[in-house]
Amino acid sequence: MARYILKRLLWMIPIVLGVAVLVFTLMAFCPGDPAALVLGSTATEQDLALMREQMGLNKPFIVRLGTFLSDTFIHFDLGESWVTGASIKAELIERLPRTMVLSLTTLALSILVGMPLGIAAAVKQNGWQDNLCMTFALLGVSIPNFWLALLLILLFSVNLGWLPAMGIGSWKHYILPAMAGCMGGVAQLARQTRSSMLDVIRSDYITTARAKGVPEFKVITKHALKNGLIPIITVIGTHFGRMLGGAIVIETIFSIPGMGMYIVSGVNSRNYPVVQAGTIFLAIVFSFCMLVVDLVYAAVDPRIKAQYKPKGRKVKNHG
C-alpha cells in the first residue's frame, strides 16, 4: 500500500506542473496592462515602464516562466501581491481554512441529504418516494447555485432576518452558503446512490439474506449500501474537489474572504501572482483529495486493498 501511495504522490508532480504552466501562460497572454492597473490612470509612461521592469514583464516569456517555476517549486516562494505587496503564502494560509470549512460543511449537507434520498428512491423503486426524490434531484441539478444563493439571502436575511447575509464571524455565517452550494451535490449523490443501490439490491446474496430472515434495515445498510459505496465515494470525492473551485461564486456572493474571492480579486486587478498561486494551491489540494478517495476505496473494499499487498515469493523446489 505504501508503494501505491508513493506512486500517486509522484503522479501529482506532472499534474501540478502542468497546471502551473497552463495558468502562467493564460495570465501572460491576457489583455490588459497590470502596471497601469496598479499605478492608476495618472501614471506617466516612465512610471509604467519602471513598474513593468519591477514586475518582470519586460523579460521574454520563457525566462519569466522558468523563474516562476523555479521560485514556486524549488524555493517555495509564491511571491508578493502586486497590488498590496503582502506575502501571497501568508494570504493563502489565512484564507484556505475558510474555504475548507465552507467546502466540508457543504459536503456534509450533501451526504446527509443526498444519500438517504437515493436509498429511499432505490428501496421504493417506481413508487411515489422514488418519483419525489428524483424530481428533487432533477431540480437540484437544474437550479444554478448563484440564483439559489440570492433567493436564500432574500428569504432568510432580508425578509426573516434569521441569518447573516455576508461576511464571517460565527457558524451562522456558513449556513446560507452551505445550503446554496450543496444542492448540486445532493442531486448528484441521490442519483448515484439510487443507481448503485439498484444494482446491488438485485444481487443474489441480497435475496438470500432476505430469505434467511435478516431485517430489512440490516440488509440495506450492512449488505447493499456497503457493496455499492465505491461509485458513491467517487462522486463524493470529485464533488468536494469541484466545491473547492466552485466556492469562487459562493464566496463572492456572500463576501466570504476565502480562496475563491481572493482569486477573483486577483483576476479583476490583473494580479497575476495571486491567480497563479491560488490556482496551484487548489490543484494540490484537489490532488490530495483524490488520493484520499483512493485510500477510502481500499478501506471499503478488501479486494482493492489486496491488490497492493506484497506478494510472497515462490520457493523453488530443487528436489
Question: pLDDT value at position 312?
Answer: 53
- Interatomic CA distance for residues 9 and 288, integer angstroms: 8
Per-residue pLDDT of the chain (319 residues; tens, 9 = 90+): 677 777 777 888 888 888 889 988 888 787 777 777 777 777 777 877 887 777 777 888 888 888 888 888 888 888 888 777 788 888 888 888 888 888 888 888 888 988 888 888 888 888 888 888 888 888 887 888 888 888 888 888 888 888 888 877 788 888 888 888 888 888 888 888 888 888 788 777 778 877 888 787 788 877 777 777 778 888 888 778 777 766 778 888 888 888 888 888 888 777 888 888 888 888 888 888 778 877 777 777 666 666 666 555 544 555 4
What residue type is assigned to position 311 of the chain? K
- Backbone torsions φ then ψ of 80, nearest 5 degrees: -125, 155
User: If 0-12 CB within 10 Å is exposed, 13-18 middle and 19+ buried, where does residue 167 land?
Assistant: exposed
pTM for this predicted structure: 0.77
Closest to 78 (Cα-Cα) out of 104, 60, 59, 96 = 96
DSSP secondary structure string, 192-222? HHHHHHHHHHTSHHHHHHHHTT--HHHIIII
Provide the CB-side half-sphere exposure for 37 (13 A, CA): 16
Question: pLDDT value at position 319?
Answer: 45
User: Domains in the chain, please, with CATH?
Assistant: 101-259+286-307 (1.10.3720.10)
Bridge partners for 87 per DSSP: 80
3 state SS of 181: helix
- Interatomic CA distance for residues 159 and 153, integer angstroms: 9
Question: pLDDT value at position 311?
Answer: 58
Residues whose CB falls within 8 Å of the CB of residue 229, separated by 6 or more in sequence, listed in order: 196, 300, 301
